[in-house]
Amino acid sequence: MLSPQDQLTELVRTLETQQHVFATDPLLITEKLQNEDGKPIQKLHRRASRIDSNGALTRVLGKIDGRIKGIMVVMSVVWCISGFLGLFTLLQANVVNFFYVLVCLLGFHTIMLLGWLAMTLVNQGKQSSNWFASFVSPSYLIRGKDDVTKAAVNLYERQLHHSGMRWYLGRFSHQLWLATLTGMLLAIVFLLIVRQYSFSWESTLLSDQALITLTQILGWLPSMVGFGVPDSAAIAQSRLVTDAMPLSVARQWAGLLIGSLLMYGIVPRALAWGGCALMFRRKKMRLDLKLPYYQKILSFWQRQVVDADDFNEAPTPIAPKATVSAGKKLVALLEYPTEQDSWWQSGFDNTLEGDVENFGILDDRDDMARLKTYLDNHPVQVLLGIHNRALPDRGTLRKLDQIASHAKEGLIVKLLNDTGLTVDASDLHTSESQQVENQGLRYQQWQTALSAREIGLVDTDA
């Protein structure tokens, strides 16, 4: 899976292509990062973190990641408890058939481990079916119909279907087996502490010498790390035991049982877990910087400023000064309210003369349709108030163009700096100087947009 920083960066990319409105304007952040040092991937991470200034995107990603890991922890605990209870049930008799218990402990586990190893070698380089992606789908773990939640769920589902996830799923499978074997080990140690067992073996086909040879082969690896192994006399003495045996012999069989579980069960499974973890790190999903979205940003950052002697800086676009007509006026606010009474009166040499009608706030399609119908039937000049929080994005500029095309006496704009409104959630994580700088850049963006459309701007300093 992607690293947390890569996940946030990719989520920002997905949302920005869907025209999502972020806590901080991506254009402003991209421009500021142009002159900062760092590798491209580091600057992209920095850009995503600053765009998510209120931490909303990070919280959604963290919630999904936390719930996936929580499911893994719960499943591991359940497997550990099941291993403990299974072996606890198996060792209820005082006389235990050693080889029967050993087969119950390691038989199925060994078959599954060898099967996994064979499938890994056969399917090397191929993508295995991803059952985990459907079993732990992020859509089951988090509910929400907002754009951020939907995009985050899709991002996690894309990661779960990545080819490198086969190693992630292998690691999780080995983790469950390790939990089961650990539960069995705890049960063995607990029962050997509180109860005294006798160990026996029985066979119709195998002779004493064959079982002695088998036991010595089985005990070679545990004996290398210090576990006791029954000698030939103890092995022969343990055949068909139905009553208590000498404590020294019982301890040798108990040591072989614990050593076999460790060396033939837990250690091989832990090595397989480590191998999957290593391969997953090598095959880990990474950002595709060749995507047009990232290439456009990186290309912008790589632009070099030419020498001042050879370059004449283009003048900053400035909107023309608003010309107020003598006829009837229609005043309206674009999307945001204001607490300023008669906001349309300030900023002029004289108060507006003539009839002034207050249309209210233009927000949804119904408001725009009602306004266009009114303008088509009434020759008025429109004074549009735009709050300093409003972004000159596509939707806003589309409304501006529609109003300008229907206003028979023209359209003029006044930019409102209303500090009395409720503070935006994104501002809680932004310094005062940063807020001022953002407002200044946004003001210049509006100057550029109005200049391109030749829409007059009311000088608020007048």
SS (H, E, C) 194-228: HCCCEEEECCCCCCHHHHHHHHHHHHHHHHHCCCC
Residue 259 has pLDDT above 70, yes or no: yes
Q: What DSSP designation does 357 have? A: E
Residue 54 has pLDDT above 80, yes or no: yes
Q: What is the pLDDT of residues 14-27, one digit of tens each?
A: 998 888 888 888 98
Asked if residues 95 and 241 have their Cβ atoms less than 8 Å apart, the reply is yes
Of 147-156, 266-275, 419-428, the one with minimum mean pLDDT is: 419-428
Residue 191 has pLDDT above 60, yes or no: yes
- Share the mean pLDDT of the chain: 83
Helix, strand or coil, per DSSP, at residue 230: coil
Token reading at 331: 């005043």
Q: What is the pLDDT of residue 337?
A: 82
Q: What is the pLDDT of residue 423?
A: 46
Going from the C-alpha of 249 to that of each of 118, 242, 372, 399, the distances in angstroms are 39, 14, 98, 91
Residue 427 has pLDDT above 70, yes or no: no
What are the DSSP calls for 372-433, one per residue?
Answer: HHHHHHS--EEEEEEETT----HHHHHHHHHHHHH-TT-EEEEEE--TTSPPPGGGGGS-HH
Q: What is the pLDDT of residue 307?
A: 45
Q: Percent of the chain beyond pLDDT 90?
A: 24
Please, which residues bridge with residue 239 across strands? 201
Q: What is the pLDDT of residue 437?
A: 66
Amino acid at site 312:
N
Q: What is the pLDDT of residue 260?
A: 94
- Strands 198-200, 95-97: pairing kind: parallel
Of 271-285, 380-394, 448-462, the one with minimum mean pLDDT is: 448-462
For 324-342, what is the mean pLDDT? 82
Asked if residues 363 and 399 have their Cβ atoms less than 8 Å apart, the reply is no
For 319-337, what is the mean pLDDT? 83
Asked if residues 12 and 52 have their Cβ atoms less than 8 Å apart, the reply is yes
- The count of other CB atoms within 10 Å of the CB of residue 410 is 16
Q: Percent of the chain beyond pLDDT 70?
A: 86
Nearest-angstrom CA–CA distance, 156 and 161: 9
The stretches of 23-55 forming alpha helices (DSSP H) are: 26-32, 40-51
Comparison of pLDDT for 117 and 313, the residue scoring more: 117
Token reading at 13: 């990319």
Of 111-115, 322-326, 426-430, 446-450, the one with minimum mean pLDDT is: 426-430
At how many degrees (to 10) do helices 247-261 and 98-122 cross? 10
- The count of other CB atoms within 10 Å of the CB of residue 43 is 18
pLDDT band for 184, please (50, 70, 90 cuts).
very high
For 399-428, what is the mean pLDDT? 73
Going from the C-alpha of 301 to that of each of 14, 182, 304, the distances in angstroms are 20, 53, 8
Q: What is the pLDDT of residue 220?
A: 92
Q: What is the pLDDT of residue 393?
A: 82
First to last CA, the chain: 57
Q: What is the pLDDT of residue 462?
A: 40
Say whether pTM exceeds 0.75.
Answer: no
